[in-house]
Structure 1
């Protein structure tokens, strides 16, 4: 599990996990918003360039506005976060995978799925907004909860319908929150590891078990390449 401590309560939180064993495992990335902020690598680069601080240490708001008007899909993630403030705890946060994976069952039938990770039981009920919680407060809350009892999350696979967009990570599937889903299992978190425990084995979203294919969108393709470069550098 990898959580991103917030320095701003509107920032994303991340949850990475591994399904299966070393022989057949899938490395899955999820986040606290159901969409990405860019549809393509070129758009992501332009998004970041538009926000480069000037000599005064601040981005050019006119440049940001011009880019946003020309690329309205890059506002979907920020709009979602503004309308759904983060929960007061990592434990009561819901996480989504923005990529659509082609998944094939034992009968040879293939459908696209999206991963969703939801808190279980009391964790899910405590949805108070995080307000301006500091990173240390969120981390201490996480540690104290785990010290008292284990934390549990259900791992779900949302099933596609004909016509669902599978190439655009800036948009949601229609009625995504209410559609058919398959429960894959439960993640049980029982302790907090030291930071160096995350160094091995390497985590790579391109690592997928048999029956789960690579998503078709451009952002997943560049993510695969970025992780390969990172792994080679770390070695």
Structure 2
């Protein structure tokens, strides 16, 4: 008769459960995130390849703060009447030949003040697809081909199972494809903290870059008539005639808004404050595609977000930038 050592079985069960919990509870760091980007978008023949927002072009301009805005927000860099700006417009993903008909868009801006800088890295969606490093890592990991094949069924299953992925896909379905960066709105995603000039309090807020020409999307017919590389040529044509302008607007959080979750939409009315105008007036080639824009480069009077992805984002950018050198 087979004798079973109950104690041993229980110990094995406990050990197995512990291992499972350790795997499930793994804390992903910046190196893990960089690794999954390289697994998805890297090229062994080109180790210096940019592995996200790989397609883009560069521009120059100026940021003109609203007059006397520092009487409302204590941000000294905004005392300048004009701040030189370097801008990079980009598409999401690691393909430098990607079609401009894709939805994910980005803008990165370096404001070079007299004594300090402010770098803004923004997307054309109000929210992110992940609220923590684990979700961020797994969002890309599930898209890495296995044995040369993409597991589309698993991607669909995971997207529906994870609320962050599901909600992001739902939001994307409501967004069209813009025919120009001049008609694209960009969002900070994270909630930053802005110093109130009167009270000295740090007020939580997101910010958005709103095109003065308004947001407009291509119709299906217009989209079919476009090639895959219309954004850069459209920009050149428009900026040759006059600057493309955006209002930078701070959107202050309400008491019930979630501040530490980049997947949370803020609903209802919010107090907004325009703090300046970005005037983009010159095409500047593609050399800035190799540069790095760090959202953690903040001027006095603006505090870092407190969500679990913000510092991870900066650290990942630093790792991937070093690999491009």
Q: Is the shorter-chain TM-score for this pair beyond 0.5, marking a shared fold?
A: yes
CA distance in 2, matches of 1:70, 1:10: 24
- Aligned residue runs from structure 1 range 96-115, under 5 A: 96-107=187-198, 108-115=200-207
CA shift, 1:62, in A, is 2.5
Matched, 1:2 2:93: no
Aligned length: 229
Compared with structure 1, are the counterparts of its residues 62 and 231 closer, same or farther at alpha carbon in structure 2 (3 Å cutoff)?
Answer: closer
CA-CA distance at 1:23 after TM superposition = 1.8
Q: How much has 1:53 moved relative to structure 2?
A: 2.3
Give the Cα–Cα distance (whole angstroms) in 2 for the partners of residues 188 and 35 of structure 1. Answer: 25
Call closer, same or farther: CA 1:127–1:3 in 2, change over 3 Å.
same
2:293 equivalent among 203, 214, 231: 203
Give the unaligned 5+ runs of structure 2: 1-86, 92-97
- 1:1-235 map, 5 Å: 1-5=87-91, 7=99, 9-19=101-111, 21-55=113-147, 57=149, 59-107=150-198, 108-120=200-212, 123-124=213-214, 126-129=216-219, 131-132=223-224, 133-175=226-268, 178-197=269-288, 203-233=293-323
User: 2:58 matched to which residue of 1?
Assistant: none
Q: Distance in 1 between matches of 2:188 and 2:288?
A: 24
The answer to whether the Cα contact below 8 Å between 1:51 and 1:64 also exists between their aligned partners in 2 is yes
Q: Is the 8 A contact 2:121 2:294 kept in 1?
A: no
| RMSD, aligned CA | 2.3
**Matched-pair contact (CA < 8 Å) for 1:10–1:85:** no
Q: Deviation at 1:20?
A: 5.5
1-side partners of 2:129 and 2:171: how far apart?
11
With 66-75 and 82-91 compared, the bigger mean Cα shift is at: 66-75
Determine if contact 2:88/2:288 at 8 Å carries over to the other structure: no
The answer on whether the counterparts of 2:194 and 2:301 sit within 8 Å (CA) in structure 1 is yes
CA-to-partner distance for each residue in 1:137-195, whole Å, 9 max, x for gaps?
A: 121111100111111011101011112111111121122xx422110100001110122
Distance 1:65 1:233, change over 3 A: closer
Aligned equivalents of 1:22, 1:34: Cα separation in 2: 31
**Alpha-carbon separation, structure 2, partners of 1:52 and 1:197:** 28
